[in-house]
């Protein structure tokens, strides 16, 4: 258990940050799922629009530190390749 005031504050802060970061990751996953759903449906225009919306979300995740740069790049690359293949 934390004894010092700064350790107690750190616990409170970490809980808040974890909640915020969890919300951010959930939002990113939602955007990626929309692209995948459009791909499953075979609708190229919808998939392209969803991808266009998902890319800034992934980039924002990198900027906020919830995603690694290469992870976001890999996801964008794979989604782009799948949309182009339609």
How many CB atoms within 10 Å of residue 8?
12
Provide the whole-model pTM. Answer: 0.87
Mean pLDDT of 16-35: 97
Per-residue pLDDT band at 1 (split at 50, 70, 90): confident
As given in the structure block, the two tokens for residue 52 are 């266009």
pLDDT digits (tens, 9 = 90+) for 39-82: 999 999 999 999 999 999 999 999 999 999 999 999 999 999 99
- Domain definitions of the chain by residue range: 5-85
CATH architecture, domain 5-85: Up-down Bundle (1.20)
27 close to 57: Cβ distance less than 8 angstroms: yes
Distance separating alpha carbons of residues 46 and 27, to the nearest angstrom: 19
């Amino acid at each position: 258990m934390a004894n010092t005031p700064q350790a107690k504050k750190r616990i409170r802060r970490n809980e808040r940050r974890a909640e915020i970061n969890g919300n951010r990751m959930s939002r990113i996953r939602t955007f990626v799922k929309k692209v995948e759903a459009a791909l499953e449906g075979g609708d190229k225009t919808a998939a392209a629009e969803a991808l266009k919306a998902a890319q800034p979300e992934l980039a924002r995740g990198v900027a906020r530190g919830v995603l690694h740069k290469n992870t976001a790049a890999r996801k964008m690359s794979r989604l782009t390749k799948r949309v182009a293949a339609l």
